Amino acid sequence: MRARSVLPHLPFCGVLAVAVWIRAVAVLAYPAPLWFGDSPGYLAAAIGFRPDPTRPSGYAILLWLLKPFHSFTVIVSVQHGIGVLTGALVYVLVWRAGRAAWPGTEAGGRRAWLPGVAAALLTVPVLIPVHQVALEHMLMSDSLFAFLLLAAVAAVLWRRRPTWWLGAAAGVLTAGAALTRTAGLPLIALILVAMLVRRAGWRACAAAAVTFALPVAGYLFWFHAEYGQYKMAKADQVFLYGRTAAFADCRVIKPRPELAVMCPRHSDPRIAEAFSVLWTPDSPFRRIPGWVHGEEGNRLAGEFAWAAIKAQPVDYTKVVVRDTLKAFTWHRQPYPTPWTWLQYEFPEGEAWSTKQADLARLYGPDGETRVVRPWAGQVLAYQDHVVMPGTILGVLLLGGIAGAALHARSEGRWRPARSVRHWAAGPLLPWGTSLALLVIPAATADFDYRYVLPAVPFACVALGLVLFPRRRPPRVPAPRDEDRPAPKEKVDA
């Protein structure tokens, strides 16, 4: 009997075996992490155990917790483990939905395999594509962010009506995600709306709100103790300014004289406007004390950005829509620069700067990028063939919302209202989270391919919940009068 209950999970075991194999080979081929422009900031914050002035430091805290091992190989191994757990969580959520939709499938029968097969297939975009593996291998926060946020969504979806302790778990996990990447900050609203739709009691909603607010408030006080400001980051307006550089026209905005320095210049068409105004010689921050980290630059950037959005709301909306749609292209394009997008892949050779070496030496001895043969050959061959186009993500999202129409027919009649209620109570939360993770960066910073990958697990869960709608408990018909037992006659004593 126990063996029969394991058999439906064999498809996922096959997917899991491939996922573990490629990650193990990746660690053997590249024992050190792949470095990115943000990596030194995270590492410096972990070494000094202080908030990063540019971005939230949830990921830096993870690096600090792993610091006693003095090993970058441990870091990438842990991050690959987090990636595998993310895929496993997708499987569990979809499989539980399938089992609830079809009671008795675990006992055998023709349909016993269907929930396991469907759930296993929906883990493939999370566990198998090479760019997911490479993102886990980077000294970056994205894999941790995706796992924390998915765990928060799982806490809300775990029961038909979330309890107070599930609400508390959802709140603290969402706070962890928000302190890892600011894109998670507004998602607490989606979590609370989903809990209300699922008819969670006030205790559950209050627990979620409180457990979210306390860690965020604690971080604000920590940041204030270090920098004298109650913020998540000192450069909180700089990236929004970079977003407006794609459309800002000073002839329309007509900024006051002090803001004229922020009018964007763009001399290299190969580089995205947002990248150009922040990091190249065209950046106006090079003429402002403190560069992008300075208080004056942040103030001017915020004032100019909001003025541009108010003066050109239609242009701003077009840019956000344009960059959101870039997530669904079949082939990756050289964006935001001809070299940035290549950093999200495993390299053929080694590159190592003196600045990276000096910083990494304070953490562990094995931070230098190394390419170990013959393992690297296997990873590079895998990279050439196992890629998920962004169009697949678009198909997952379309299936997640269009599939709701399949369940509008109920009891022989079309009942769209019932279908909408089902979709709002289940798939809405992961589907909305996936879409939000694509739109928020496009609206507040710029499009980047690494921002696309954390949205994939949520799209997979949403489609799985659509495929397996919740079954309504059967109604027990009221007994008819003729079926009621006859009342007993009173007998006088």
pLDDT for position 370: 86
- Residue range 14-21: average pLDDT? 96
- Residue range 171-183: average pLDDT? 95
Return the percentage of the chain with pLDDT > 70, whole number. 88
User: Does position 225 have pLDDT exceeding 70, yes or no?
Assistant: yes
- Give pLDDT tens digits for 420-467: 666 677 888 999 999 999 999 999 999 999 999 999 999 999 999 988
Report the amino acid identity of residue 114: L
- Give pLDDT tens digits for 341-353: 888 899 988 777 7
- Give pLDDT tens digits for 132-175: 999 999 999 999 999 999 999 999 999 988 999 999 999 999 99
pLDDT for position 492: 45
Q: What is the mean pLDDT of the chain?
A: 87
- Give pLDDT tens digits for 35-93: 988 899 999 999 999 998 888 999 999 999 999 999 999 999 999 999 999 999 999 99
> Which spans in 261-312 are helix H?
273-279, 295-311
CB 298 within 8 A of CB 237: yes
User: Does position 1 have pLDDT exceeding 50, yes or no?
Assistant: no
Report the amino acid identity of residue 302: G
User: Does position 411 have pLDDT exceeding 50, yes or no?
Assistant: no
Using only C-alpha atoms, what is the Rg of the chain? Answer: 26
- Per-residue pLDDT band for 410 (boundaries 50, 70, 90) equals very low
pLDDT for position 343: 86
> Which spans in 200-349 are helix H?
202-227, 238-244, 250-253, 273-279, 295-311, 313-325
CB 175 within 8 A of CB 215: yes
pLDDT for position 481: 52
